[in-house]
Structure 1
Amino acid sequence: MRARDFLLLVLVCLIWAFNNVLSKIIVDDWAIPPIFYAALRFAVVALVMLPWLLPMPRPAWRIILIGLLMGGGNFALLFIGLQTTSPSSAAIILQLGVPFTILLSVLMLGERVHWRRGIGVSFTLLGVLIVIWRPEGVALSAGLWFVAAAAFSGSVGAVLMKRVVDVSPFRFQAWVGLVSVISLTLCSLLFEQGQWSAATAAGWPLVVAVLFTALIVSVGAHSAYYYLIRHYEANLLAPLTLITPLATIAFGVLITHDNFDLRMGLGAALAIGGVLIVALRRKPATALLVDREQR
């Protein structure tokens, strides 16, 4: 990989990681309703991507379902979880997306699991168990349940996306944005209150944050990553994107003062090491196994 492209990938991963911590600040410190925040983000994405909306990919039901799973559903669940959990813990729990995707690929696509992938999955699950372990036993807090659900939602969307062909990244983002903003707006109206008063109280910092997450993260960073996918094999990129959870943990400790002790460190090392084993298998890795989150 050329040095320029490596630095671009590092920048993309750092943007994704910082966005995870920023989202925590928005939904927790600023008390912005999480579904409403996700709707604002996808509204900007849909507006920017509008020129690439047509023609609609076929079959329509599949692209709509993928948009709901990888867009609105994934981000809404993640933001709800971030209200009550730390970015560091969320970054580790999100690694469940790897075993989820592998299991769903076996069940839905008939893929076979090589023994090395099985070891990687086992390491990832063991790492997550260590993170959620408490002296009184294993317990997944409400926030981490939502983060785990976000990982599962993204994994189902990733498996469905394997059947999508001849859809450009910009057209895909356009439909994810449109489907997500419609569904999230309806959900926010039904289940949340005080959206605009919270937004008004946050003021211009919220506007800047939404523009950052929509334009820099969703449009900019993801487009840059798609560029890298076109020029390099996924089994080269996938291990390098593990910079994202590591940087999320670092940003979480520095910015939101996350608690990070020996147990968390061991769990993170095992979970991320498991993902690395999967990503380094001989056959080209599916990039979605590692990156679908990290946004």
Structure 2
Amino acid sequence: MIAHRKNLDGFAISLMLLLCLCWGLQQVAVKLAAPVLSASMQLGLRSGLAGLLVLLLIFIKKIPFSLRDKHFWPGIIAGALFALEFLFISLGLKYTTASHMSVFLYTAPIFAVLGLHWLIPAERLQAAQWLGILSAFAGVAIAFSGAFSSSQADLRDMLIGDSFGVVAAVLWAATTVTIRKSSLSEAEPTTTLFYQLTVGAVILLAFAMLRGEHFPAQWDTTSVLSLLFQTIVIAFASYLTWFWLMRRYLVSRLSVFSFLTPLFGVAAGVILMHDPISPRFAMGAILVCGGILLVNFRRT
């Protein structure tokens, strides 16, 4: 059992930079394939396929795993929160841009650090973290206000989509706190990921089917490549790496790099999707990223 978590070394920093780049591309990948495959169907399908990859890895590596151990109920809860997070992402992307979703979704570390502050003594906040929280929430308010310069229809859609992004962030933070506080904090990364992906796939695919969404009769190259990227790179490799890092390093230190993800996400949205960026949204995004950086800064 790994009880002690350490500060970041060069290897962990390199992995986090790569993860942030991949996660920044995630919303764009979903949006690009949405005309052929609905967002909720994409996210459910990729979770199911990645879950099979995790199960294959468990079998090949002979990693200990049982549905009857102490990780079952925490795993179910984490999986349900994971599913709800991506459900709100899929719904939100119908109303707002990939750039907006990236910024609002990655306010999650703010909510996670707040939860960890109250529940885990080692994760207590310092003055700089509280200043960062104020900065991040001010940034969210300013970013939201940018929508008020839009037409009535665009305003409604953007506010709905952006709000769903914030809800998804809260659910992501709840997942992180659940994992950190429960027996999953010491579980094999494959165990945690298997529960999240499997439960997530069941809920997301059920939701998509209840809404009358179906698999496309014809696939195009973009949708196939997007699904492969989401399944292999995002849902399998990146999440497995993240849980591996969470077992070995302090979560608050890892989260310091999360402020890069929305920057990568906005850049990808502008370059690949031609997303418009208003001055207010840009200012809000800067405050959010700065707040996340302050929240995760700790004196050594």
Query: What residue is the counterpart of 1:50 in the other structure?
Result: 55
Task: After superposing the two structures, state which structure 1 stretch, 137-146 or 88-97, moved more.
Answer: 137-146
1:33 aligns with 2:44: no
In structure 2, C-alpha distance between the alignment counterparts of 1:231 and 1:135, rounded to whole Å: 41
Residues 167 and 132 of structure 1, relative CA distance in 2, 3 Å threshold: same
Q: Deviations over 1:3-40 (max 9, x none)?
A: 7765544332222112221112222xx15222211110
Q: Which moved more, 1:131-140 or 1:18-27?
A: 131-140
After TM superposition, list the pairs within 5 Å mapping 1:213-252 onto structure 2: 213-226=230-243, 234=251, 236-252=253-269
Which has the higher mean CA deviation after the structures are superposed, 226-235 or 116-125?
226-235
TM-score w.r.t. the length of structure 1 is: 0.82
Residues in 1 aligned to 2:147 and 2:187: alpha-carbon distance in whole angstroms: 49
Residues 107, 292 of structure 2: 8 Å contact kept = no
- Once the two structures are TM-superposed, the CA of residue 267 in structure 1 deviates from its matched residue by 0.8
> Partners of 2:25 and 2:88 in 1: how far apart?
18
Q: Is the 8 A contact 2:28 2:269 kept in 1?
A: yes
Indicate which of 171, 194, 214 corresponds to 1:195. Answer: 214
Amino acid aligned to 1:10: L
Match of 1:126 among 130, 138, 143: 138
**Identity of aligned pairs, percent?**
23
Amino acid at match of 2:98: P
Aligned length: 277
C-alpha displacement at 1:194, in angstroms?
3.9
Q: Is the 8 A contact 1:21 1:87 kept in 2?
A: yes
Identify unmatched segments of 5+ residues in structure 1: 284-295
Q: CA deviation at 1:266?
A: 1.2
Structure 1 residues 189, 16: closer, same or farther in 2, change over 3 A? same
Contact 2:139–2:287 (CA under 8 A) maintained in structure 1 = yes
Q: Does 1:141 align with 2:148?
A: no
Take 2:46 and 2:75, find their aligned partners in 1: how far apart are those partners?
A: 19
- The structure 2 residue matched to 1:183, chosen from 181, 189, 203, is 203
2:107 is paired with a residue whose SS is helix
1:96 to 91, 102, 107: 107
Change (3 A) 1:85 1:97: same
Q: Which amino acid aligns with 1:50?
A: L
Rounded Cα–Cα distance in structure 2 between residues aligned with 1:105 and 1:5? 21
Which residue of the partner structure matches residue 152 of structure 2? none
Moved more, 35-44 or 139-148: 139-148
What TM-score results when the alignment is normalised by the length of structure 2?
A: 0.81
Distance 1:2 1:277, change over 3 A: closer
Residues 1:255 and 2:266 aligned together: no
